[in-house]
Amino acid sequence: MITGSLKTTKSEEIFAAAQKLMPGGVSSPVRAFKSVGGQPIVFDRVKGAYVWDVDGNQYIDYVGTWGPAICGHAHPDVLKALHEALEKGTSFGAPCVLENTLAEMVIDAVPSIEMVRFVNSGTEACMSVLRLMRAFTGREKIIKFEGCYHGHADMFLVKAGSGVATLGLPDSPGVPKSTTGNTLTAPFNNLEAVKNLFEENPGEIAGVILEPVVGNAGFIPPDGGFLAGLRELTREHEALLMFDEVMTGFRIAYGGAQEKFGITPDLTTLGKVIGGGLPVGAYGGRKDIMQMVAPAGPMYQAGTLSGNPLAMTAGIKTLEILRQPGSYEYLENVTKRLADGLLQIAKETGHAACGGNISGMFGLFFTEGPVHNYEDAKKSDLQKFSRFHRGMLERGVYLAPSQFEAGFTSLAHTDEDIDRTLQAAREVMAAL
Ligand SMILES: *Cc1c(COP(=O)(O)O)cnc(C)c1O
- Residues 190-222: pLDDT tens digits? 999 999 999 999 999 999 999 999 999 999 999
The rounded mean pLDDT for the chain is 95
Do 143 and 169 fall into the same domain? yes
Confidence of residue 3 (pLDDT cuts 50, 70, 90): very low
Q: Are residues 52 and 113 in the same domain?
A: no
The residue nearest atom 15 of ligand 1, judged by CA position, is 247
Q: Do residues 45 and 88 both lie within one domain?
A: no
CA 184 centroid distance within chain: 21
Atom of ligand 1 nearest to the CA of 126: 10
Residue 120 pLDDT level (bands cut at 50, 70, 90) = very high
Per-residue model confidence (pLDDT) at position 159: 55
Q: How many domains does the chain have?
A: 2
Q: Of the residues 287, 322, 357, which one is the last residue of a structural domain?
A: 322
Q: Of 279, 301, 322, which closes a domain?
A: 322
Lowest pLDDT segment from 95-104, 164-173, 348-357: 164-173
Query: Which CATH number belongs to the domain containing residue 19 in this structure?
Result: 3.90.1150.10
**Residue 53 Cβ < 6 Å to ligand 1:** no
In a domain, 68, yes or no: no
d(CA 258, CA 244): 10
Instruction: Work out the average pLDDT over 126-147.
Output: 97
For residues 229 and 194, membership in a common domain is answered with: yes
**Residue 169 pLDDT level (bands cut at 50, 70, 90):** low
244 in catalytic set: yes
What pLDDT is stored for residue 158 in this prediction? Answer: 84
Is residue 432 a contact partner of residue 391, using CB atoms and an 8 Å limit? yes
Listing DSSP states for 149-204 in one string gives ---S-GGG-B---STTTTT--BSSTT--HHHHTTEEEE-TT-HHHHHHHHHHSTTT
% of the chain at pLDDT higher than 70: 97
CA angle 87, 91, 96 (to 5 degrees): 90
Q: So what's the pLDDT on residue 310? A: 98
| Mean pLDDT calculated for residue range 371-382 | 96
Whether 87 and 233 map to the same domain: the answer is yes
Active site residue 272: yes
Instruction: Choose, from 62, 149, 283, 398, the residue flagged as catalytic.
Output: 149
Residue 288 lies in a domain: yes
Rounded-to-integer distance, Cα 80 and Cα 93, Å: 23
151 lines ligand 1 (CB under 6 A): yes
Range of the domain at 94: 76-322
My answer on whether 166 and 313 are in the same domain is yes
The answer to whether residues 268 and 284 touch, using CB atoms and an 8 Å cutoff, is yes
* Residue from 272, 280, 305 to probe ligand 1 pocket by mutation (most atoms less than 8 Å from CB): 272
Whether residue 277 sits in one domain with residue 197: yes
Among 322, 341, 375, identify where a domain stops: 322
pLDDT at position 166, please? 45
Residues 281 and 388 in one domain: no
Residue 419 catalytic? Answer: no
pLDDT mean over 15-26:
96
Asked if residue 67 belongs to a domain, the reply is no
Residue 261 lies in a domain: yes
Say how far apart CA 22 and CA 301 lie, in whole Å. 30
Q: pLDDT digit string (tens) for 325-365?
A: 999 999 999 999 999 999 999 999 999 999 999 999 999 99
57 and 100 share a domain? Answer: no
CATH code for the domain of 113: 3.40.640.10
For residue range 294-331, what is the model confidence (pLDDT) as tens digits? 999 999 999 999 999 999 999 999 999 999 999 999 99
Q: Does 2 reside within a domain? A: no
Helix axes 309-322, 97-109, angle to 10 degrees: 40
Co-location of 406 and 421 in the same domain: yes
Q: Is residue 70 part of a domain?
A: no
123 ligand 1 Cβ < 6 A? yes
Domain co-membership, 36 together with 112: no
